[in-house]
Amino acid sequence: MREAVKESVREAVWYLRLTYVFTGKAIKAMLTYRCSFVINCISQAMDYAVAFLLMWVMISAFDSLNGWNAYEVMLLYSFSLFAYGIAGTFFFNIMNHLPGQIWKGGFDDVLVKPVKVLPYLLASSFICNYIAHITLSILVMGLCFHALEMPVTLWLLARIIRILLFGSLIYGGLFLIVSGSAFLVTKTDALFHIMFFFREVSYYPLSIFPKVIQIMATVLVPYGFINFYPLRELLGKEETGGLGYLAGWSPVAAIVFFTMACLFFNLSARQYKSSGS
């Protein structure tokens, strides 16, 4: 038993080291395109900055959105964006490249390596393209907490990190499900759309949407647990909308969802091996 634990720890450390080596090489490769990388980051930052600005303009004109003021809604947005950025750093490239790899046969090159599929893909897919998302959302969070007159104490910081951690895990699971479905169907567009549609939904308080969307965003794809439920508790908002008091369930939802996503991914990969391309 202890041997088995030791062995899996050794494996995990090895994959971490592999991530480190792969990331080093990826950064070295990226330096050839330094200029376009910087431009890309600035462009993305601008896109999201404008989205934040428009959000502020719109809600300020109306005072509040279903009891949430502009800064509170911007917090929802920034938490969602931050979690998306963290998850994207690890998982986006898998989702982006896997369909093409499967289609063109490049996935076979992964299978002839003496590695476990998912950890290897994770190790080789780390990207730094989300610096803009993450930096911008931290800035906006700072701005909003300041405007809301909530001093960022250590206790608050710990709660924020907890929310972001589980939020990232949920986004990671979503990325994995879209990626894994590439093993089963040739077109993953519809799932892709669902993921990004609900990402858009998660920028606003869930309570403004009809019940059916609220239920879907809680049960089907647990977007509500990324930011809405935990922030409602953090900001001490009234319990309206959603499926009731669910903030405490965020960690459970995140861990269960992520585990299920991993299982789904591995089963799908296995299916690929028996059916081929």
Partner 1 sequence: MGLCKKILSISFKEKSIFRFDYLVNTLFSFFYIVLKVYLWKGLYGISGEAVSGIALNDMLVYSILSSFTAGITKTTVMNDLNESVLSGSISSNLLLPIGLKKYLFLHSVTKNIFLTLYGIIPSVLAAMLFFGFHAEISPVNLVLYVLSVIMGTLINFLYNFLFGSSVIWFRNSFFLNNINSVLLNLFSGALVPLWFFPEPMKILSVFLPFRYIVFEPIAVLLNTKSAAETAYVFAMQLFWLVFLFCAATAVWNRGRNKIMIQGG
Partner 2 sequence: MSLIKVEHVSKNYEVILQRSGAKNVWRNLFCPDKKVVYAVQDISFAIEAGELVGFIGENGAGKSTTIKMISGILFPASGNITVAGICPYLKREKNARNIGAVFGQRSRLNWDLPMLDSFELHKEIYRIDPVRYQKNVDMFIEMLHMQDFCNTPVRQLSLGQRMKAEIALSLLHEPAILYLDEPTIGLDVLAKQQIREFIKERNRREGITTILTSHDMKDLDSVCRRIIILEKGRILFDGAIERFKQEYTKESIAEFTYAGKCSDQVIPDGPVRVLLDKDHRLVVAYSPAEMTTAQLVGMVSAYYEINDFTIKAPDIEDMVRGIYEREAD
Binding site for partner 2 (CB under 8 A): 14, 17-18, 21-22, 25, 28-30, 32-33, 104-106, 108-109, 111-116, 120, 273-276
Number of residues that bind partner 1 (CB under 8 A): 32
Please give the Cα distance from 172 to 169 (Å, whole number): 5
| DSSP category for residue 184 | T
Contact indicator for 269, 183 with CB cutoff of 8 Å: yes
Q: Give the residue with the Cβ less far from partner 1, 18 or 45.
A: 45
User: C-alpha angle 195/45/129, rounded to 5°?
Assistant: 65
Distances in Å between the Cα of 150 and the Cα atoms of 27, 29, 69, 89, 206 are: 38, 42, 14, 29, 23
Nearest approach, Cβ of 175 to partner 2 (angstroms)?
23
Binding of partner 1 by 46 (CB under 8 A): yes
Binding of partner 1 by 212 (CB under 8 A): no
Among candidate residues 207, 181, 189, 249, the one with its CA nearest the CA of residue 68: 207
Site string for partner 1, 228-257 (x = CB under 8 A): ------------------------------
Which of 6, 189, 240, 248 is the binder for partner 1 (CB under 8 A)? 189
Which of 1, 112, 153, 210 is the binder for partner 1 (CB under 8 A)? 210
Quick one: which segment of 6-14, 32-40, 168-176, 261-269 binds partner 1 (CB under 8 A)? 32-40
Q: Give the residue with the Cβ less far from partner 2, 21 or 46.
A: 21
Please give the Cα distance from 274 to 190 (Å, whole number): 25
User: Which of partner 1, partner 2, none interacts with 243 (beta carbon under 5 to 8 A by kind)?
Assistant: none
User: Which of partner 1, partner 2, none interacts with 106 (beta carbon under 5 to 8 A by kind)?
Assistant: partner 2
Among candidate residues 157, 158, 188, 156, the one with its CA nearest the CA of residue 174: 188
Which tokens belong to 267? 């089963």
